[in-house]
C-alpha cells in the first residue's frame, strides 16, 4: 500500500463520525415528523432540568449571601453576646449570680488571653426619637471603641471614624452606616451635619460603606440590618443616651475580639468561655460566636441542602426518562417494517441501536437545553418577586446537562435493544 493511499484513507475517528451523521439526520427527521409528540415527551425533561437549575441557583445565592455575611464578621474574630433579661424577675434572679457582661470582663480577657490583637466592647441602644426623622426603620446606635473599625473591617465612603481623643472623652460625634445615612438624609451629604438622638445632638463625621445583612438569625447572630446603624464613642452612648443607668441591662452587651488568624478561633473561644464562666459563676448569660466555625457549618449544611434539592428535582427527570422510554417503545411498533427493511439491506444490530439511542438523546438533550433556559428564567423571576439572591453557576448548568443526556442514554437503551433484536423477516411482514 502506498503512502498516498494511506493518507487518503479516512482515519477511524473520521469514519465513525461519517457513520454517525446520517443517523443523526435520520433521528432529527423522525422527531420532526411528530413535533407535538416529541415536545410532549420533552416536557418531563424540561421541567426536571428547570427544577434542578432553579433549585441549585437559589441554593447558591443563599450560600453566597450567608458566606459573605459570615466572612464580613471576620474569620479571625470572636464575638461575645450578652443574654439580657426579658423581665424584672428574670433580671433579679440573674443578678444574684452574675453582674452580666461588664468592662471588668473586657479587662480580664485582655490580661489573660495572650493572642488577642484588638478588643472592643459594644453597647447597643435603640433611640425613642431621632431628628431628622427616619424615612424607614429606626436606626440602632452602637457605642463602640475606635478599634471596632479595624476589628470589623469597616470601610468609609465619606469623612472619617472618630479618633482616640473623641472616644476617650465621649465626644458627641457619630459615624453613619450607609443605610442610616440614606434613612436620615437621603441623597444629601451627611458629613458635618447633626442628628438628635433622644435629647442629645451628635455631629456626623463619617459614613460607612455598604455591608452584607442577613434576613434571619444565624447560629446566635440576631437578624439585623447592619447598614442601618449609627456608630458613636462608647462613653458618649453610656453618658448621653443611657444617662449612666443600665436598669435591666448589662453594663455592655457585646465584646468583639480580634485574633491573629482563624486557626486560633476555636481554642481561644474555649479559653474565653472558661474565663467568663468563672467571672459569671456559670450563669450562662452570654454566648460566643465563632465566625470561622459558622462558616464551616454553613458549608456542610449547604452541601446537604444541594444534595436534597437535586434528589427532589431528579424525580422529575426520572418521570421524563420514563416518558422517553414509553414513546420510544411506541415508535418501535410504528416503525417495525422500517427496521426490517434496514436489517434486510444489511444494517447491523448496533446500527439500529445507535439510531434509536440518537433519537432518545436528541429528545433528552433538547429538553435539557430548553429546561436550562426555563430554569434560568424561573430563578430570575424568584429573585425579582421574592427579593432572594439567586446565582447561576457553571456547575448547576453542567449537572443539569449531564443529567439530561444520561437520562436519554439510560432510558433509551432498552427500546434500542428491543428494536435491534427484532427478526428481520417478521419485521418486514409486520402490518
297, exposed or middle or buried, with CB in 10 Å at 0-12, 13-18, 19+?
middle
Rounded Cα–Cα distance for residues 3 and 107 (Å): 89
Distance of CA 325 to the CA centre of its chain: 36
pLDDT of residue 221: 63
Write down the domain spans for the chain. 20-68+298-429, 84-284
Residue % of the chain over a pLDDT of 90: 14
**pLDDT tens for residues 60-71?**
777 777 777 777
Q: Quick check: 387 pLDDT over 80? A: no
Instruction: State the average pLDDT over residues 29-58.
Output: 79
**pLDDT tens for residues 299-330?**
777 778 777 777 776 777 777 778 888 888 88
Angle, helices 291-334 vs 265-279, to 10°: value is: 130
Rounded Cα–Cα distance for residues 331 and 189 (Å): 72
Other Cβ atoms closer than 10 A to 71? 15
Rounded Cα–Cα distance for residues 204 and 180 (Å): 11
Select, from the ranges 16-20, 45-49, 218-222, 304-308, the one with the highest average predicted confidence (pLDDT): 45-49
Amino acid at each position: 500500500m502506498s503512502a498516498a493511499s494511506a493518507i487518503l484513507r479516512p482515519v477511524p475517528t473520521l469514519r465513525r463520525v461519517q457513520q454517525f451523521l446520517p443517523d443523526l439526520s435520520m433521528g432529527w427527521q423522525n422527531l420532526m415528523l411528530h413535533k407535538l409528540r416529541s415536545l410532549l415527551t420533552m416536557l418531563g425533561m424540561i421541567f426536571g432540568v428547570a427544577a434542578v437549575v432553579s433549585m441549585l441557583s437559589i441554593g447558591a445565592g443563599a450560600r453566597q449571601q450567608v458566606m459573605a455575611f459570615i466572612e464580613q464578621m471576620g474569620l479571625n474574630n470572636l464575638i461575645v453576646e450578652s443574654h439580657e433579661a426579658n423581665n424584672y424577675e428574670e433580671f433579679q434572679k440573674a443578678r444574684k449570680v452574675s453582674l452580666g457582661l461588664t468592662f471588668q470582663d473586657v479587662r480580664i480577657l485582655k490580661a489573660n488571653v495572650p493572642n488577642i490583637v484588638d478588643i472592643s466592647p459594644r453597647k447597643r441602644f435603640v433611640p425613642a426619637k431621632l431628628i431628622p426623622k427616619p424615612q424607614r426603620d429606626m436606626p440602632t446606635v452602637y457605642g463602640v471603641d475606635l478599634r471596632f473599625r479595624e476589628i470589623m473591617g469597616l470601610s468609609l465612603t465619606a469623612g472619617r471614624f472618630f479618633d482616640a481623643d473623641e472616644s476617650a472623652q465621649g465626644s458627641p460625634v457619630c459615624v453613619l452606616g450607609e443605610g442610616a445615612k440614606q434613612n436620615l438624609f437621603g441623597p444629601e451629604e451627611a458629613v458635618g451635619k447633626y442628628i438628635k438622638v433622644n435629647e442629645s445632638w451628635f455631629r456626623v463625621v463619617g459614613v460607612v460603606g455598604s455591608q452584607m445583612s442577613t434576613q434571619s438569625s444565624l447560629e446566635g447572630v440576631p437578624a439585623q440590618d447592619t447598614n442601618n446603624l449609627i456608630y458613636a464613642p462608647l462613653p458618649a452612648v453610656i453618658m448621653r443616651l443611657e444617662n449612666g443607668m443600665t436598669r435591666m441591662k448589662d453594663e455592655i452587651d457585646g465584646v468583639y475580639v480580634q485574633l491573629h488568624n482563624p486557626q486560633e478561633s476555636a481554642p481561644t473561644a474555649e479559653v474565653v468561655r472558661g474565663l467568663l464562666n468563672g467571672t459569671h459563676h456559670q450563669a450562662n448569660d452570654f454566648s460566643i460566636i465563632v465566625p470561622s466555625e459558622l462558616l464551616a457549618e454553613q458549608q456542610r449544611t449547604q452541601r446537604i441542602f444541594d444534595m436534597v434539592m437535586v434528589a427532589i428535582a431528579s424525580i422529575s427527570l426520572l418521570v421524563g426518562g420514563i416518558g422517553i422510554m414509553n414513546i420510544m417503545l411506541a415508535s418501535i411498533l410504528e416503525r417495525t417494517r422500517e427496521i426490517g427493511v434496514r436489517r434486510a439491506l444489511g444494517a447491523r444490530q448496533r446500527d439500529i441501536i445507535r439510531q434509536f439511542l440518537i433519537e432518545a438523546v436528541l429528545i433528552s438533550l433538547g429538553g435539557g437545553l430548553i429546561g436550562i433556559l426555563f430554569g434560568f428564567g424561573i430563578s430570575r423571576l424568584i429573585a425579582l418577586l421574592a427579593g432572594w439572591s439567586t446565582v447561576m453557576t457553571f456547575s448547576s448548568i453542567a449537572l443539569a446537562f449531564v443529567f439530561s443526556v444520561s437520562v436519554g442514554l439510560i432510558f433509551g437503551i432498552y427500546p434500542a435493544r428491543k428494536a435491534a433484536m427484532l427478526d428481520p423477516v417478521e419485521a418486514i411482514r409486520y402490518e
